[in-house]
Amino acid sequence: MYLPGVGPKKAEILKTEINVVSWEDMLYYFPYKYIDRSHIFKIREINGSMPYIQLRGKIRDIQTIGEGRKRRITATFFDETGSIELVWFQMIKQISNLYKPGTEYILFGKPTLFGDKINIAHPELETENKFYEGEVGVQGQYNSTEKMKNVFLHSRGIHKIIKQLLETIKTPLEETLNEQIISKAHLINLDSAIRNIHFPKSNDLLRKARYRLKFEELFYLQLNILRITKYREKRLGGFRFSQVGEYFNNFYHRNLPFQLTNAQKKVIKEIRRDTNTGKQMNRLLQGDVGSGKTLVALLSVLIALDNGFQGAIMAPTEILATQHYETISELLKGLNIEIALLTGSIKKKEREIILPKIKSGEIKITIGTHALIEETVDFGNLGLVVIDEQHRFGVAQRAKLWKKNTNPPHVLVMTATPIPRTLAMTIYGDLDVSIIDELPPGRKPIQTVHVYDKKRQNLYDSVRKQLQQGRQAYIVYPLIEESEKIDLQNLTEGFQKIKEIFPEYKVCMVHGKMKPAEKETEMQKFVSGEVQIMVATTVIEVGVNVPNASIMVIENAERFGLSQLHQLRGRVGRGADQSYCILVTKYELSENTRRRIAIMTETNDGFIIAEEDLKLRGPGDMDGTQQSGIAFNLKIANLVQDGELITLARHFAREILDDDPLLEKYPNKILKNQLYKLNTQHQTAWFMIS
């Protein structure tokens, strides 16, 4: 069915720009905000800090001024209380023909203070009788791209299409939830929700519409995740690791370089218990940077080996995988356990040697990046997979792992980034959580100080002092997509400068634009101690472990988020010595940034920092990153903001599945169909369970 008022050209743009290909997609393209159009202001009342407002009046003095790119149209808009300037920079030809002096218009736009005068750029003007229902009260605003705007698919254009579309749909929209849920959760029906989300009859109905649509999204997300969990528990047995044997004990008694912390012991116990139940383990291990998660990973893998299985450890980057490989090779020295490194940059020739050995079981522990779970990697008998520092490794991704053996291998996900509970519920849903809440003994808290750009001389003295004591230093620069070129230049300049300031020391440089092998070589120089100063971008963010490094300077610290600063800082303070972190910023800072820097200098506690981070960033900011790891894209619900609703949706989903695990009862048919539809649309995990 064609959308009313949408020809082939607009249809194409809707498809490429916002992925709308059906009338249903269009109806689910919700406003991102609402504006109250029920009030009309007087010009005398307005100031430059108001949001979008409406005025009633006439225009005069329409004129085109300026040349070339500066060409624009201006006009004066007036009512009985005063006048204001209007300005248009685009669609100049159309505008000058469109508006007539003497006609009364309703103007809609955002006043801005320009010098000491207020003007309104690109206002919408309509004669009063052209208004249609739905535009006079609370009105939805739709996101639109430049390309869309060029064909009049601006917010208003979309509004009109949806309006016409809803008028052509005479029968109520088909329900997507069953009656029981609708009545128990006090929801309005779908038809009313969709109509009111676009054209709110009242503020109350808008609230109810949003509630219903959010609930529905979260409900299906929970239904999906719980259904997969139930299936896994029922149908997929887990391998039973019934014993602890020589692999574990030899390592523990001969090679372990230090006492485990109590927290590490506790977690190992939890893992032993989990893996001995006959069910598949799915555990999330949260532990601050430097809390010793690598060792927990290794000990868990050794338990797998003791029970005749292979183990694998997966890291997000090559550098990290390589470092794990090296650390673990070192730890296992003399124990005669064959281990392999498998990343994207391992040569074909080497791969051809490794892969058959992984298949035959000769290689007991495989460490690598995502390359590890590719289909070409065939394990002889994989029993446990550890996933390090990948805090968005959700059910859908884990489902891939489950096919790696006759039973799904046990899974341990490790992260230094604490995740809000409701969020964890949605991404991991089914995971049990362990926490390492204790750092290895003897660690001194990192001292963090804030220094302004201009006063950097002392800073280099501090660095030199550490180097003279035989320690190493990190100098970190931001590298952010949009300004990559400038940043790279900053970094190389910084590198040159550092070499000049410290002629007596060796300096290396690492950044994300380098080839993996090159990066590797440079990193290695720092790890081995051959080089004393590493100038780097955030590529060193996760996991890198050089205990001898005792000072980190973070340049342009104002450009980093709190969690990121904390992660970076965690690269120092890994040995017994006092470590330092110096945050360098420009002098003028926003309040928010000042707060971030202050928190960093006040605490080393990752959990406190994560909480503050969430507060400062606000939930809106986090959508993009939080979507990954969940099965369906969210159009209206927000995983951080809608915590209570998540809990409620989960409660309903659980109640239904407890009563009818396969959704076979008649009233649940609608749920099953909808879930199937969503999974097909998003190509997710349904196939696992149908």
Q: Provide the binding-site residues for Mg ion, judged by CB under 5 A.
A: 543
Q: Looking at 137, 237, 440, 619, which residue binds ligand ADP (CB under 6 A)? A: 440
Q: What angle do helix axes 318-331 and 516-528 make, rounded to 10 degrees? A: 40
- CB-side exposure of 607: number of CA atoms within 13 Å? 8
Question: Nearest distance from residue 287's CB to ligand ADP, in Å?
Answer: 5
Question: What whole-number distance in Å separates Cα of residue 557 and Cα of residue 462?
Answer: 18
Residue whose tokens read 């369906």: 632
Question: Nearest distance from residue 542's CB to ligand ADP, in Å?
Answer: 9
Residue whose tokens read 């926490």: 435
Q: Which does 516 bind (CB under 5 to 8 A by kind): ligand ADP, Mg ion, none?
A: none
Question: Nearest distance from residue 412's CB to Mg ion, in Å?
Answer: 13
Beta bridge partners of 388: 414
Q: What are phi and psi of 107, to 5 degrees?
A: -100, 140
The pair of three-digit structure tokens given for residue 460, joined into one six-digit string:
């280099």
Question: What whole-number distance in Å separates Cα of residue 354 and Cα of residue 367?
Answer: 12
Q: Which does 684 bind (CB under 5 to 8 A by kind): Mg ion, ligand ADP, none?
A: none
Question: Nearest distance from residue 545's CB to ligand ADP, in Å?
Answer: 4
Question: What whole-number distance in Å separates Cα of residue 239 and Cα of residue 278?
Answer: 6
Residues with Cβ within 8 Å of 152's Cβ and at least 6 positions away in sequence, in order, are none
Eight-class DSSP state of 126: E
Question: Nearest distance from residue 574's CB to Mg ion, in Å?
Answer: 10
Interaction of residue 317 with ligand ADP, rule CB under 6 A: no
Nearer to ligand ADP, 264 or 679 (CB): 264
Nearer to ligand ADP, 478 or 543 (CB): 543
Question: Nearest distance from residue 296's CB to ligand ADP, in Å?
Answer: 8
Question: Nearest distance from residue 249's CB to ligand ADP, in Å?
Answer: 18
Amino acid at residue number 546: V
CB 311 within 8 A of CB 305: yes
Question: Nearest distance from residue 292's CB to ligand ADP, in Å?
Answer: 3
Angle at 636 between CA 631 and CA 637, to 5 degrees: 65
Interaction of residue 287 with ligand ADP, rule CB under 6 A: yes
CB 296 within 8 A of CB 285: yes
Q: Looking at 119, 261, 286, 369, which residue binds ligand ADP (CB under 6 A)? A: 261
Q: Looking at 574, 599, 649, 674, which residue binds ligand ADP (CB under 6 A)? A: 574
Question: Nearest distance from residue 290's CB to Mg ion, in Å?
Answer: 8
Q: Which does 523 bind (CB under 5 to 8 A by kind): ligand ADP, Mg ion, none?
A: none
- Scanning 529-605, the segments in alpha helix (DSSP H) are 562-569, 591-602
Write out the binding residues for ligand ADP, residues 451-510 only, by CB under 6 A: none
Question: Nearest distance from residue 599's CB to ligand ADP, in Å?
Answer: 20
CB 108 within 8 A of CB 52: yes
Q: What are phi and psi of 61, to 5 degrees?
A: 55, 50
Interaction of residue 606 with ligand ADP, rule CB under 6 A: no
Question: What whole-number distance in Å separates Cα of residue 625 and Cα of residue 633?
Answer: 12
Question: Nearest distance from residue 365's CB to ligand ADP, in Å?
Answer: 16
Q: Per DSSP, which regions of 399-457 are E strands?
A: 410-415, 432-436, 447-452
Question: Nearest distance from residue 645's CB to ligand ADP, in Å?
Answer: 33
Q: Which does 4 bind (CB under 5 to 8 A by kind): Mg ion, ligand ADP, none?
A: none
Q: Which stretch binds ligand ADP (CB under 6 A): 259-267, 451-459, 522-530, 625-633?
A: 259-267
Size of the site for ligand ADP (CB under 6 A): 19
Q: What are phi and psi of 319, to 5 degrees?
A: -60, -45
Q: Which stretch binds ligand ADP (CB under 6 A): 159-167, 252-260, 403-411, 513-521?
A: 252-260
Question: What whole-number distance in Å separates Cα of residue 642 and Cα of residue 633?
Answer: 15
Interaction of residue 226 with ligand ADP, rule CB under 6 A: no
Eight-class DSSP state of 389: S
Interaction of residue 258 with ligand ADP, rule CB under 6 A: yes
Nearer to ligand ADP, 212 or 574 (CB): 574
Nearer to Mg ion, 328 or 656 (CB): 328
Q: In whole angstroms, how far apart are CA 491 and each of 66, 231, 556, 574?
A: 41, 51, 11, 25
Q: Which does 224 bind (CB under 5 to 8 A by kind): ligand ADP, Mg ion, none?
A: none
CB 33 within 8 A of CB 155: no
> Torsion over CA of 607, 611, 616 and 621, rounded to 10 degrees?
100
CB 420 within 8 A of CB 614: yes
Beta bridge partners of 368: 314, 342
Site string for ligand ADP, 390-419 (x = CB under 6 A): --------------------------x---
Q: Which stretch binds ligand ADP (CB under 6 A): 87-95, 444-452, 473-481, 542-550?
A: 542-550
Nearer to ligand ADP, 405 or 545 (CB): 545
Site string for ligand ADP, 291-310 (x = CB under 6 A): xxxxx---------------
Question: Nearest distance from residue 442's CB to ligand ADP, in Å?
Answer: 7
Q: Which does 307 bind (CB under 5 to 8 A by kind): ligand ADP, Mg ion, none?
A: none
Q: What are phi and psi of 614, to 5 degrees?
A: -65, -40
Interaction of residue 111 with ligand ADP, rule CB under 6 A: no
The pair of three-digit structure tokens given for residue 533, joined into one six-digit string:
């100063």
Q: Looking at 144, 192, 462, 545, which residue binds ligand ADP (CB under 6 A)? A: 545
CB 63 within 8 A of CB 50: no
Nearer to ligand ADP, 236 or 331 (CB): 331
Interaction of residue 83 with ligand ADP, rule CB under 6 A: no
Beta bridge partners of 57: 105
Question: Nearest distance from residue 352's CB to Mg ion, in Å?
Answer: 30
Nearer to Mg ion, 579 or 638 (CB): 579
- CB-side exposure of 421: number of CA atoms within 13 Å? 6
Interaction of residue 289 with ligand ADP, rule CB under 6 A: yes
Binding site for ligand ADP (CB under 6 A): 258-261, 264, 287, 289-295, 416, 440, 543, 545, 547, 574
